[in-house]
Chains A and B, each alone.
Chain A
Amino acid sequence: MVQQRSVRNLLLTLAALAVVALVLYFVQEQGGSKMRQVFTLFAIWGTAAVSLNLINGTTGILSLGHHGFMLLGGYTTALLILPELNRLQIAASARSQLNDFTLGLSIENWARGLGLEALAAPEALWTRILIAMFIGGLVAAAFGLLVGIPSLRLRGDYLAIVTFGFGEIIRLLASTDLFAAFTNGSLGFTGVPSLMGKSLWWTFGILGLTVFVMSRLKFSSYGRALQGIREDEVAAQAMGVNLAYHKVLAFTLSAFFAGVAGGLYVSWLSSARLDSFLFFLTFFFLVAISVGGTGSVTGTLLGTALVVFVLQYGDPLERSYPLTTWTLALGALLLAAAGGAYVYRRINRLRPRLHPAVFVLAGMGLVTVLVAFAGPAVGWLEGNFRAFGLRRIFLAVLLLVIMVFRPNGVLGRSEFTWAWLLRERRDQPTDEERAQDAWLHNPALNKEGKEGIDAPEPAAHPLLERGEPGDDDDAGEEPPPVDEGRRT
């Protein structure tokens, strides 16, 4: 039974992977540049969002500094794989502007000292870029370690602000003279080799690796400990979970993958610029996590897909349209809101069903629609209007709505698994178990009212059906009692 299920799941997973590979192949070979862009962005942001989910979702610490980790990873990768020519230009411009001290710190000297300059050889090969990205991840992870340390003293909103401060400080410092020898100030680098970021196989490969590590981690003993910290820090510590180690571990691992994602991002953009790593990146990941499901890896991917879709295909929203169209749209929106409020109140049986707000919204909507139709006749509402930033406004409203109506996101904490898809639920009793329950709770049958204290053990531990790899059919055998107390 157990083996059958795990074999079935394995086959299904392989089939799904094959389908994904097929889709990727077609997108890579046949798809337009827009579609390739959407897929790449999904893979890169998905990597970052899934890694952020380890802190925000699994460990339950709100971290707002993810763009800083990505920046570190991205810049490190860019510096290491930047072709010699571009590097020399940067060094020349730095030499003309900076003093000797900061130049001494410059990446050239570092790279030479560490013997890393070979990575930037002209015939940059995959392995070299991979190594560079790995080092980028390590640098980000080192900083993640540093950011993780405040989490030992602070919690909740103060900690969130501290992580936000760290993320911003990285960006602000990168533009100052002190670090301009590394970062070329606010100009950044161009000409970063992009063969990695432009290849869907690599971006999706790294996304797959991240998802693999994060989901394996979530369903391991470490993942349980992290979720314990999320549920109740005090209780987790009282149950032997070393808070310091686990929180810092979460920050470090998460930062590592964020750094790798930053490397991919830089490679895809083929430039490293400070304004590619603004706070809105972290905000988008936050939307992705919150919408998809806090703590759910698959949910985060779902959310990322939504965010990328809105941002990439939502540009018609921000084109120039006549003012009457906008007014009409606003009126329709208000009317829809009124209708939505009415339906919501009706479904949830709230009284009064026609709340004043419904009237107000409907009235405003009607007036707006009226104005839209009557306006041109009187000479109002002439000209066109471009609604800049409407997509971002949409995402902000989406996040608000999710937080109000479904704070744990669409998938909640559960994962999209085959068992979930096939509606196999283990938290519901089987018929046999139901019968046993009936016996326990029926005073006519269970005269002593023992509530099963001395009742026989259930024949098989359903737990062992959980399908942990390597779990064989030792179900039914009572495990020898392992007892610390008696041993000593």
Chain B
Amino acid sequence: MQKERDSRPVLARLTPWLIGAAVLIALFARIAFLISERGYTAAFFAGALLQSLQLGSLYALIALGYTMVYGIIRLINFAHGEVFMVGAFVSYFIFARTPYALPWALFAAALSTFGLMYVVSLWRGRLGDPLVLGTGIISFIALTLILSSSALGWIPALVLSMLITGVVGVLLDRVAYRPLRGAPRISLLITAIAMSFFLQNTGVLAFTRNVTAYRPETSWTQSMQFELVGQTVFGTRVVILVVLLTAALVVVLTMFVTRTRLGKAMRASAQDPEVAQMMGIDVNRVIATTFLLGSMLAAAAGVLWGMSYGTLSQPAVMGLLPGIKAFAAAVVGGIGSLPGAVIGGVLLGFMENFFTALIPGVTQYKDTFAFALLIIVLLIKPSGIVGEDLSEKV
């Protein structure tokens, strides 16, 4: 791809950076002033730091899904926030409502099995393949037994939720996005909005209309405290879980993308889907894999979100704000880039948490801030921190 050398004058080129620097300096000055005025302690900062890291990790997990999908099919998957919501609620229904009555266990097992068979059939070619049928039979029996026999803890709930939500993501691609390959990107975006709306309202229909308490039986959600330079820092243990699990998932994802054949095919398709197809890569399969992985990460984020904050808001609104913020994070980091998504997510978590913790009365502007940041980044530097500019070109 030919790159045009920036022929604008130096000042014009530097303007976005200058504005950004000015804003940052102003904010830091304000924070420094507040600290000096109110006398915040080191423990306060340590606590805020941990919380920021936690929130940032969650944003990063969701942002990875946005960035992977955008990297491959240039689609802002508007429904990704809703996939996150589905992940949270599926896990809730697994750990809080098991064991199920037999008909419900059968129904849930049948639905999940069909999805799983479909996903496996993507790699085996057809639904009638012995492996696909075998997977189907085993998973149907196993799921029915698991769901109907015993109460499950949060770890099986996490694993099952990741699987089921991954299947939901793949089906989303199959039903809504695959028929529109090659259509104008705007049509694709409209479809994504439709799917977002669909999942929101299906969530209301299938899950609940109320705010749900999310309390799996685990010691991870208990509070903890430790000493730091003579002061006590309060927090919850889940911070450690969130950060560790996120790091582990990101490492696994990176290994997958860089080391495996499918991962390499994925990167090739992100470069140029048409050429990748000509080189014998089944691009549809690669895209399905992308949706599978992205949705699994979103489901993990959903579970961790529930454990972190103890409640799930009602399905129609739960996915919207985390989704938009994670998308902002992906753009800030540079959409299409995996490290970018992680950096952007953590950065956004830090900004949101620190500003609301440090500047009193600013909490009500938190969401406005996320949208404003998104708009500003898109306008001033759509390529983000590490990414290249993937926005539509002439």
State yes or no: do A and B touch (Cβ within 8 Å): yes
- Chain A residues near B (Cβ < 8 Å): 60, 62, 64, 150, 153-158, 160-162, 165-166, 168-169, 172-173, 175-177, 233-234, 280, 283, 286-287, 290, 356, 360, 364, 367, 371, 375, 380-381, 387-390, 392-393, 395-397, 399-400, 403-404, 407
From B183, B209, B375, contact of A166 by CB (8 A): B375
From B184, B198, B371, contact of A165 by CB (8 A): B371
* Chain A neighbourhood of B110, CB < 8 A: 364, 367
* Chain A neighbourhood of B42, CB < 8 A: none
A390 touches B205 (CB 8 A): yes
* Chain B neighbourhood of A360, CB < 8 A: 114, 127
* Chain A neighbourhood of B184, CB < 8 A: 407
Please name the 10 residue pairs, one residue from A and one from B, whose CB atoms are nearest each other, closest first. Answer: A389-B201, A396-B198, A399-B194, A156-B392, A165-B371, A396-B197, A392-B201, A380-B103, A404-B179, A172-B368
Q: Assess A169 versus B371: contact at CB under 8 Å? Given A62-B190, A356-B126.
A: yes
| Interface-centre pick from B179, B201, B364 (highest chain A CB count, 10 A) | B201
* Interface positions of B from 36 to 87, Cβ below 8 Å from A: 74-76
Which residue of A is nearest B190, CB measured?
Answer: A403
B222 contacts A by Cβ under 8 Å: no
* A-B contacts at CB below 8 angstroms, number: 137
* Chain B neighbourhood of A287, CB < 8 A: 194
User: In whole Å, how far is A62's beta carbon from the nearest beta carbon of chain B?
Assistant: 5
B226 contacts A by Cβ under 8 Å: no
Question: Whole-angstrom distance between the alpha carbons of A56 and B321 in the complex?
Answer: 25
Which residue of A is nearest B371, CB measured?
Answer: A165
* Chain A neighbourhood of B128, CB < 8 A: 356
Total interface residues in chain B, CB < 8 Å: 49
Question: Whole-angstrom distance between the alpha carbons of A388 and B203 in the complex?
Answer: 10
From A156, A166, A388, A395, contact of B204 by CB (8 A): A388
A397 touches B193 (CB 8 A): no
| Interface-centre pick from B103, B128, B194 (highest chain A CB count, 10 A) | B194
B126 touches A161 (CB 8 A): no
- Chain B residues near A (Cβ < 8 Å): 74-76, 103, 110, 114, 126-128, 175-176, 179-180, 183-187, 189-191, 193-195, 197-198, 201-202, 204-205, 209, 316, 324, 327, 361, 364-365, 367-368, 371-372, 374-375, 378-379, 382, 391-392, 394
User: In whole Å, how far is B178's beta carbon from the nearest beta carbon of chain A?
Assistant: 10
Q: Assess A387 versus B205: contact at CB under 8 Å? Given A150-B375, A404-B191.
A: yes
| Interface-centre pick from B75, B103, B126, B186 (highest chain A CB count, 10 A) | B186
A154 touches B391 (CB 8 A): yes
A161 touches B367 (CB 8 A): no
* Chain A neighbourhood of B394, CB < 8 A: 233-234
B190 touches A172 (CB 8 A): no
User: In whole Å, how far is B160's beta carbon from the nearest beta carbon of chain A?
Assistant: 21
Question: Whole-angstrom distance between the alpha carbons of A212 and B2 in the complex?
Answer: 47
Which residue of B is nearest A61, CB measured?
Answer: B186
B364 touches A403 (CB 8 A): no
| Interface-centre pick from A150, A283, A286, A396 (highest chain B CB count, 10 A) | A396
B185 touches A156 (CB 8 A): yes
Which residue of A is nearest B365, CB measured?
Answer: A176
* Chain B neighbourhood of A367, CB < 8 A: 110
Question: Whole-angstrom distance between the alpha carbons of A173 and B371 in the complex?
Answer: 11
Question: Whole-angstrom distance between the alpha carbons of A403 and B193 in the complex?
Answer: 11
Which residue of A is nearest B198, CB measured?
Answer: A396
User: In whole Å, how far is A71's beta carbon from the nearest beta carbon of chain B?
Assistant: 14
User: In whole Å, how far is A395's beta carbon from the nearest beta carbon of chain B?
Assistant: 8
A157 touches B189 (CB 8 A): yes
Which residue of B is nearest A178, CB measured?
Answer: B365
B371 touches A155 (CB 8 A): no
Binding site of B, secondary structure by majority: helix, strand, loop or mixed? helix
Q: List 14 A-B contacts (CB under 8 A).
A: A62-B186, A157-B186, A158-B378, A162-B374, A177-B361, A290-B190, A364-B114, A388-B205, A388-B209, A389-B201, A390-B205, A403-B191, A404-B176, A407-B180
User: In whole Å, how far is A179's beta carbon from the nearest beta carbon of chain B?
Assistant: 11
| Interface-centre pick from A154, A155, A388, A400 (highest chain B CB count, 10 A) | A400
User: In whole Å, how far is A343's beta carbon from the nearest beta carbon of chain B?
Assistant: 18
User: In whole Å, how far is A319's beta carbon from the nearest beta carbon of chain B?
Assistant: 14
B378 touches A161 (CB 8 A): yes
Question: Whole-angstrom distance between the alpha carbons of A287 and B197 in the complex?
Answer: 11
Question: Whole-angstrom distance between the alpha carbons of A381 and B392 in the complex?
Answer: 51
B201 touches A393 (CB 8 A): yes
User: In whole Å, how far is B272's beta carbon from the nearest beta carbon of chain A?
Assistant: 19
Which residue of B is nearest A175, CB measured?
Answer: B364
* Chain A neighbourhood of B371, CB < 8 A: 165-166, 168-169, 172
Which residue of A is nearest B203, CB measured?
Answer: A389
User: In whole Å, how far is B210's beta carbon from the nearest beta carbon of chain A?
Assistant: 11
| Interface-centre pick from B103, B193, B198, B374 (highest chain A CB count, 10 A) | B193
User: In whole Å, how far is A159's beta carbon from the nearest beta carbon of chain B?
Assistant: 8
From A286, A364, A404, contact of B180 by CB (8 A): A404
Question: Whole-angstrom distance between the alpha carbons of A375 and B102 in the complex?
Answer: 12
Which residue of A is nearest B194, CB measured?
Answer: A399
User: In whole Å, how far is B387's beta carbon from the nearest beta carbon of chain A?
Assistant: 13
Question: Whole-angstrom distance between the alpha carbons of A371 and B368 in the complex?
Answer: 49
A396 touches B190 (CB 8 A): no
Question: Whole-angstrom distance between the alpha carbons of A254 and B180 in the complex?
Answer: 29
* Chain A neighbourhood of B176, CB < 8 A: 400, 404
* Chain A neighbourhood of B364, CB < 8 A: 175-177
Which residue of B is nearest A381, CB measured?
Answer: B103
User: In whole Å, how far is B266's beta carbon from the nearest beta carbon of chain A?
Assistant: 21
User: In whole Å, how far is B159's beta carbon from the nearest beta carbon of chain A?
Assistant: 25
User: In whole Å, how far is A103's beta carbon from the nearest beta carbon of chain B?
Assistant: 16
* Chain A neighbourhood of B379, CB < 8 A: 150, 153-154, 162
Question: Whole-angstrom distance between the alpha carbons of A393 and B76 in the complex?
Answer: 21
User: In whole Å, how far is A488's beta carbon from the nearest beta carbon of chain B?
Assistant: 32
* Chain A neighbourhood of B382, CB < 8 A: 154, 158
A161 touches B127 (CB 8 A): no
* Chain B neighbourhood of A371, CB < 8 A: 103
Given A155-B392, A158-B391, A387-B205, 15 additional A-B pairs, CB 8 A:
A62-B186, A62-B189, A154-B382, A156-B185, A157-B75, A157-B189, A158-B392, A160-B186, A176-B365, A286-B190, A287-B194, A356-B127, A396-B197, A399-B191, A403-B187
* Chain B neighbourhood of A397, CB < 8 A: 194, 198
From A166, A356, A396, A407, contact of B195 by CB (8 A): A396
User: In whole Å, how far is B372's beta carbon from the nearest beta carbon of chain A?
Assistant: 6
* Chain B neighbourhood of A153, CB < 8 A: 379
A162 touches B114 (CB 8 A): no
A286 touches B201 (CB 8 A): no
* Chain A neighbourhood of B374, CB < 8 A: 161-162, 165
| Interface-centre pick from B195, B205, B361 (highest chain A CB count, 10 A) | B205
* Chain B neighbourhood of A156, CB < 8 A: 185-186, 391-392
* Chain B neighbourhood of A176, CB < 8 A: 364-365, 368
A154 touches B197 (CB 8 A): no
Which residue of B is nearest A166, CB measured?
Answer: B375
User: In whole Å, how far is A340's beta carbon from the nearest beta carbon of chain B?
Assistant: 14
